[in-house]
Structure 1
Amino acid sequence: MNTPVVLITGALTGIARATAFAFAQKGAKIVGSGRHADAGAALVAELRAAGAEAEFVRADVRHEDDVRALVDATVTRFGRLDIAVNAAGTEGQPGPAVEQTAQTYAATFDTNVLGTILSMKHELRVMQAQGSGSIVNISSTFGHEGGAGASIYSASKHAVEGLTKSVALEVGTQGIRVNAVAPGPIQTGMLDRFTGGGEDVKAYLASLNAQKRVGQPDEIARAILYVSSGDASFVTGHILTVDGGKSAG
């Protein structure tokens, strides 16, 4: 489809925001969502200034009524849903496993896992009726490698990857593809929070990959565009790792 309708959750910051602008450059119609209406209005203004047809719908992916309304609003505005990027996420509370609680677990899993489940449920409701669609979930290299001090976050991204593969198997004959992109360390607010803003910690993380640097959000956005597009028509159930060679070592 030359002018796809794209829904992006967590679109206000980081990788998801970069993805919105990457799709805008390709002429897509975009619905972004997040929890902050003022920031959403500013995002839409920027996307429209860049020439895109864009809307913002306030939604919290932890709440099914919000997700249902978000997907319905997308279809009401643009008539269909071709690509969904499920990027809403949180790093939770970094720290050793012995310091985690039921509350820190729930705070992370409700956004990263439940939010992904609810998003796919309602995106698929539309895509199955259309007989077509592409879903991209955002994981992390921690989702298949683990990371010290990131036990709950890592577990949540393991779950996202399992969901991605399972749902891809469920809908593979229905014209719908489901994949995930798993970034390594990327220069975002989440990385700043996770590292406490420490440049020494970022430098250490950068040292673990072949390119010896932290990635940029637009580099992940380009990977999302590829895997969601018709150029990747035979790719489904795949976790595309984009990590500067971290997993090669």
Structure 2
Amino acid sequence: MTSQPLSGRSALVTGGAGGIGLAACAALAALGARVTFTARSAESLAAAQEKLVGVATGVLCDITDRARLAEVIAPGFDILVNNAATIAPIGRIADLDPEAFSASIETNLTAQFDAIRLCLPAMLARGHGSIVNVSSGAAHRPQEGWAAYCAGKAGLAMLTRSVHLEYGGQGIRVFGIAPGVVDTGMQVAIRASGINPVSKLPRESLSQPDQPGRAIAWLCTPAADSLAGQELDIRDPVLRRAIGLPAL
């Protein structure tokens, strides 16, 4: 493989203004991709753009705004990274506001579906495409207070499998990747909630965004072809060796 296996490929990273999304933008660009990312606010967009000068181009887009998302995706992309997500609302089921629960599903699942649906026509026309859905251990193991987040991520895991079933034979590579417990803005809200064991983890024990960023970019290269359609965990030692990440 060349040092830039994604040369000539265009990539869209949702929620790319910080954390894992920002790291994924940098990692994809390092492998040769032309990267576009979405941000929800003008402030976060400007801050991220300063960090990604000459690396990626940001656009203002709330991914739950279907019309705006369609505008962003209209040029067509070779790579889609569904990264944008929310941990809110945190709380036990009987205490959750139904509208907040629905908004969580809208952000963590429905908008991901929309992004995939909108990207597929151009990918299919080109005969290739890579989709990376940022998953979570919460997709498979419930955590107290995270009913909305767990439900959305579990649905996204099944969406990954569905895309593989329906389009894997047409050149569409799709992956789910659980990034582990990473030091991001989401973890600030989790620590503030104090509601389950994850919230009690000391910040110094959390991993940094660059490792899942590298993993996401690696999945978009031919080296990951044999893993298409799978839910993967960055803590898997075999996967880490393949990516070139240090052992845990």
Structure 1 counterpart of 2:208: 216
Deviation at 1:21, TM superposition (A): 1.4
Q: Does 1:154 align with 2:150?
A: yes
1:156-196 per-position Cα deviation (integer Å, ceiling 9, x unaligned) = 10011011111111101111111111122111110111121
Structure 1 counterpart of 2:59: 57
Q: Does 1:101 align with 2:97?
A: yes
User: Which of 30, 35, 44 is equivalent to 2:35?
Assistant: 30
Gaps of 5+ in 2: 1-5, 238-248
User: Which of 36, 61, 84 is equivalent to 1:88?
Assistant: 84
Deviation at 1:33, TM superposition (A): 0.6
Structure 2 counterpart of 1:181: 177
Structure 2 counterpart of 1:209: none
Go from structure 1 to structure 2 and tell me whether the alpha carbon gap of 1:121 and 1:21 turns closer, same or farther (over 3 Å shift). same
For 1:133, give the aligned amino acid. G
Deviation at 1:234, TM superposition (A): 2.3
Deviation at 1:84, TM superposition (A): 0.8
Q: State the TM-score, normalized to the length of structure 1.
A: 0.85
Gaps of 5+ in 1: 207-211
Deviation at 1:32, TM superposition (A): 0.7
User: Which of 222, 225, 234 is equivalent to 2:226?
Assistant: 234
1:65-102 per-position Cα deviation (integer Å, ceiling 9, x unaligned) = 11110111xx2xxxx52211011110011111121121
Q: Look up the SS of the partner of 2:57 in the other structure.
A: strand
Contact 2:18 2:48 in 1 (8 A): no
Deviation at 1:152, TM superposition (A): 1.2
Structure 1 counterpart of 2:240: none
Structure 2 counterpart of 1:172: 168
Output the CA distance in 2 between the equivalents of 1:5 and 1:160: 23
Q: Does 1:43 align with 2:39?
A: no
Contact 1:85 1:138 in 2 (8 A): yes
Say how many residue pairs are matched.
231
> Which stretch of the first structure deviates more once superposed, 153-162 or 227-236?
227-236
Go from structure 1 to structure 2 and tell me whether the alpha carbon gap of 1:202 and 1:152 turns closer, same or farther (over 3 Å shift). closer
Q: State the TM-score, normalized to the length of structure 2.
A: 0.85
Structure 1 counterpart of 2:73: 71
Output the CA distance in 2 between the equivalents of 1:203 and 1:61: 27
Q: Look up the SS of the partner of 2:131 in the other structure.
A: strand
Output the CA distance in 1 between the equivalents of 2:201 and 2:107: 25
Q: 1:110-125 residue pairs with structure 2 within 5 A? A: 110-125=106-121
Contact 2:191 2:199 in 1 (8 A): no
Deviation at 1:243, TM superposition (A): 4.0
Instruction: Give the aligned CA root-mean-square deviation in angstroms.
Output: 2.3
Output the CA distance in 2 between the equivalents of 1:164 and 1:71: 19
Output the CA distance in 2 between the equivalents of 1:117 and 1:201: 30
Output the CA distance in 2 between the equivalents of 1:138 and 1:130: 24
